[in-house]
Structure formats: C-alpha cells, structure tokens
Chain A
C-alpha cells in the first residue's frame, strides 16, 4: 500500500516507522526543513519538505498513486485542509484520515464528523486513552487493560509477583486448571516480546499479555501474584482532554476525583464542567505538594496524564513510593516503559500507540477489523472476521492445532454468535467466526493470506 503522511513530528514519524516496518511504501511531508532532513537520514521513506496543503508538494510526495492519506500534524486546520486537498487531487477511492485534537473546541460543543467533511475518519486518541484508563482503574489487579472485540474479550498486560503460579509452572500446567478462563498470548521479557508455547515458564520480571473474558479478571489478578485492590479515590494529574474525559466518566460512576492542573485558566474551565470533582490549581511535579494531596485526600490511585513523558513517569514512580495502590501514567516514550513498570507503575498508556492502532484499522480495512500493537511492534493482535463464504476451506472441520499457522501465531479467542470463548488447540473454527489472533510481525502477511 502507498501511504502519504502529512506531518513528520512525533506522531507522524512514529506512524511512518510502523507502516514502513509493515512493508508499506511511505511518503512523509514535513514543513520544517531541518526535521525533514533528519527524517530523510533516519527513515526508509520518501521525505518531502514542504506544506501538506500545497498541491505541488502533495504531487511530489506521490499523491496520485496513494491508497491512504494520513494528515497527522499538530494542527487540526492543516490536517483537515490537507485531507480535503488530498481527496480532491488523489486517485479514485483514496482514503483520507485526519488527526484532530479539538483544542479549539469547548467541551460539550457538537463535534464535526468525518462524514460531513467527506473523510474516511477523524482520529483523536483522547477517547481511547480515557477508556483504557477507566478499564485499568476498574481492574482489581496491576496492569493495562484493553478491550477487544467490542468488549467481549479483554487483553491484560500484567506484571508477575514472585508467588505467581505462572512463574513456577509451565503455561500448559496452569492451563489445565484454568483452560477456558484465559490464555497467555505474549510475554515481554528482557530481550523483547515473544509468543509463548505451552512448555514456556515465565520469569518473575516478565510481563504477561493475557487474553481473557471480562468475567474472569479477578482470577487473573489473583494468579498474577501481585496484590489486588479496589480503587475509589482517584487523583488525576493534568487535566487535558483525556483527563477531563476520565474525570467525567468517574463522576458518572458516582466517584469524586481530585484533579491537579497547573494551568490556572484550564483549572477554572474544568472546574465549571466537573461538579463533583475537586480541582486544585497547582504543580503535580512538586513532591511536597503531591504528597500533601495524596495524604489529605486518602488517594488509592494516581493517574498522570501530562504530555511530558519524563515528568509523567517520574511523578508516577513518586506516587507509588508514597503508597498509591494503583498508578497509571501517560508516556509516549516506549524506551521508558520497562523502567516505569520495574519501578512500580501499574500501567503505562500511550496516545501515539492508540493513534497507530486506530490508523492500522484503516490500513487493513476490509480484512482486519482492529489491530493492537504489542511491545516494540514485535507483534500485533488482529481481529479477523472469517467470511461466511470463505475462500480457504482448509481452516475448518479440524482443530486449531492441526492448522498450519505460520510461526509465532496464536489464536487467542473466537467470537461466535456474539459470544466469546478463549481458544485452545482443540477449538474448531466455523465460517463467520471472529478471531483474535496474536501474530509476530514477520508472520503478519502469511496470516492475512491464510485467514482472508
């Protein structure tokens, strides 16, 4: 697929890197000439200096042959105009996706829809981040919780304690007692992410990605060997759009979050929008100030949603040391994630990653309903729908263990007739099934060919 990306900043360059890794042809348009030069030197993509709203620049980037057009600059206006221009001048069927931040929009204003603008999609990671935060707060254990297949399946990325049976037994042995409950689909260790087999045994400092049904998360929390706890009093540091969305959801659950916001104007604005919350204007990175608020409000969970990754992680580690039972931080710097986990941060959420997950859906439209990146893009979780009249008859009438999958591919769950089951070697597929497949990056192509 030929993809034109407008904007080579933090988001654009990250998305470009992932798409190049997946084997797509990528052109990046970047207005800042210095940055364009740096990208050109570091990336296996065509880098075109200039503005994404200039037709001549779009042409130089190969717009005529593009299948997908992504406008990912930090400016909503530039992104929307670039998409409209791209759509006008690109080939028939070009799909256009714009990143939007809605920074100019007061909360509660009606939002523009992609339809109105004639675009394929408007992507804003704030909602994904807010949803993921809420699920992660609700989960009794430690780790990131993501919903798959419309909430019928969840994927938990969890740390393991020294007592966890997953550390002391092979995965096959633990599975004998909990076969239908969950499946460990990936393991993040020192030397990267791997897709495990039944004979695998995990290390106490590994992180396990576990696919399970929403009703089974309590067992998972117990088996992780980490302490579990319920969260009632939540402190949010940084009330941008995601922070506001999280606070609103918590208020809807009759909770009363405490919010620390450094910008006075923003603090006053959100105070008017959040009747149940306590909004404090102050600096969350000031240790004494943070300690005071955690103690006086008897905080159980701290959610740090600052844009500055270093600051977010640092505040998170500090909050943990002050006794917060659950700490969730926003961090787009993937290099910090293992360190944050090691120092006690329960969950790390990345808007960039939420963005790429949303975009990959449009890259694979028609075949794959949703995608989730795992680790440092070593693997992905794909949501396939097997056609009612499938091309490949080899998939059926035999158990999964007899299907010749490419290496490092695991079917984690099957949704059939609206009901999800955790897959095992004996599961037999049927036409029309929805599959959640975990797949190492190098096997993505073969798996798509096998299942579509």
Chain B
C-alpha cells in the first residue's frame, strides 16, 4: 500500500486556516465531501468529531488521523492538511499537531482504512521527513516528497 497512490495532490492543503481542533475538522470535511460527491460536509464533520470524542486521533509526533465511517459512501476519501503554526489536537505530549490526514471510509470497509492510517503514521514518523515536508512550498512538492519517502 502506497500513501502517494491514494492521496491525490489536489487533496493536499499546504496551509489550512484553522487554528482550533473543531475548525480543522470542518475545514477538512469540505474537500472530503467534494471527493465523495453529494455527501453533506456537515455529516462528515460530525462523524469525524464523534471519533475525536472517544479520544484524540493525534497518534504520533505532530500528526493526527481524524477518521470515520459512513454508510452512504462507496469508496475511501482522503485529504491531507498542513498547519505550519500547529493546532492543539489533544496529543499525548501536549505539543501542537501539524499534519492531518482525514479519512472517510465506507461503513463496510474492513481493514483497508486502518492500513492506510497505519501507513501514514509509519511514513510520517521520521523527523527529517516531517521537516522536509514542512519546508515544501506547494501541494505538488509535498506530494513528491511523500512519494519519495513512501517508496523507501
């Protein structure tokens, strides 16, 4: 499984505006809704927020994986947001989160979306990679950097 194959560059957002956790979720719900064509972005924001209620998805240093499942969708939708300033997402170490991989999967999706989240956590673990990605200017550059790290 390759992250770069699933995450399209038009769904990478190098500068999300949100400064707070619930705003991040609302901001990323929009492109997810667009990807899924016809799903209400409010519904997506709500399922992502529901999952955060069970415990923050800020799983590793500087990254979070807000995710949820939805009955009405037929495929996995993914987008990546970057916040250079960082957002308090309730991480274990209390430090700000900079990268958000938001995922919506069909309700009958089994292991695949978890593999995607795990793969993201794996690829984003290296500090030097995160620094490079933080320095990248455009979504194209970010996609390129992810592709390189992913094929290692």
Contact = CB atoms under 8 A, between A and B. Distances in A.
Closest 9 CB pairs of A and B: A165-B111, A229-B55, A230-B92, A219-B118, A168-B110, A222-B118, A168-B111, A218-B60, A218-B59
Given A165-B114, A222-B114, A225-B114, A177 B56 contact: no
B75 interface: no
B122 A230 contact: no
A215 B121 CA distance: 11
A163 B54 contact: no
A257 to B, nearest CB: 17
Contacts of B132: none
B58 to A, nearest CB: 8
Interface residues of B, number: 23
B85 interface: no
Interface of A: 140, 163-169, 174, 177-178, 181, 215-216, 218-219, 221-223, 225, 227-230, 325
A178 B114 contact: no
B41 interface: no
A223 B122 contact: no
A230 B111 contact: no
Contacts of A223: 111, 114-115, 118
Give the residue among A140, A168, A218, A228 with the most B Cβ atoms within 10 A: A218
7 contacts: A140-B92, A165-B112, A168-B110, A218-B59, A219-B121, A222-B121, A225-B111
A222 B110 contact: no
A140 B57 CA distance: 10
A230 B54 CA distance: 11
Nearest to A176: B1
Interface in B101-120: 109-115, 117-119
Contacts of B20: none
A222 B125 contact: no
Nearest to B93: A230
A178 B111 contact: no
A219 B122 contact: yes
A230 B110 contact: no
B111 A222 contact: no
A441 B100 CA distance: 46
B92 A165 contact: no
